[in-house]
A = this chain, B = another copy of it.
């Protein structure tokens, strides 16, 4: 608590002083029945590190996190959620903000016919998991006409054609920047402590060397502070 107080004190003069930053982090869990769910390998390490770096840069930070085993970072307002729909609600409730950094690995689909009772194993019969599309949090917030954060950042975890997919995602979602990375097994990014990212904007691709997730977070917050500053002038 002392550390957090010191951070806030130091922070009042940081590059993001007076700004509200919303960060999403971690996976979402989409229920199949009361005991089973669909998950993904996001650890929340990158998103949590970004929230921490934003606090250190002086921002007021709302961190909206899916189920992770990480401690809540000091100095943030934390909202714990499970599903994509809960995460969208929490983001909308946290608006307005100056910057939205949507690092969570949100499930694209949920089970439409999620059972209220545990699905029983019947001889030979397989349950029918009918999927339905989840709300697209990045696109929904980026396309808002009211209280859209002026700087919207999305993440793209890809296993192939990383930059190409990121460019498509940027255009489709309507955000200002995509942080893209390769999460194929060889990369070991998901759950790991380092990250190799590409910053993709409408006009530019910037590739950073492999860094710790903490360093990616600091460098990204520095980059976004400069972008926010640039947009103002």
Contacts and interface: CB of A to CB of B under 8 A. Distances in A.
Nearest to A105: B35
A34 B184 contact: yes
Interface stretch (A1-9, A36-44, A144-152, A212-220): A36-44
A213 to B, nearest CB: 17
Contact of A127 (B109, B124, B126): B109
A132 interface: yes
B131 A126 contact: yes
A203 interface: no
A167 to B, nearest CB: 14
A232 interface: no
Per assembly, the copies of the chain total 2
A206 interface: no
A183 interface: yes
Interface stretch (A46-54, A156-164, A192-200): A156-164
Interface in A6-65: 29, 32-42
A233 interface: no
A116 B155 CA distance: 21
Question: Which 6 residue pairs across A and B have the least CB separation, nearest first?
Answer: A118-B159, A108-B121, A39-B39, A126-B131, A36-B40, A69-B69
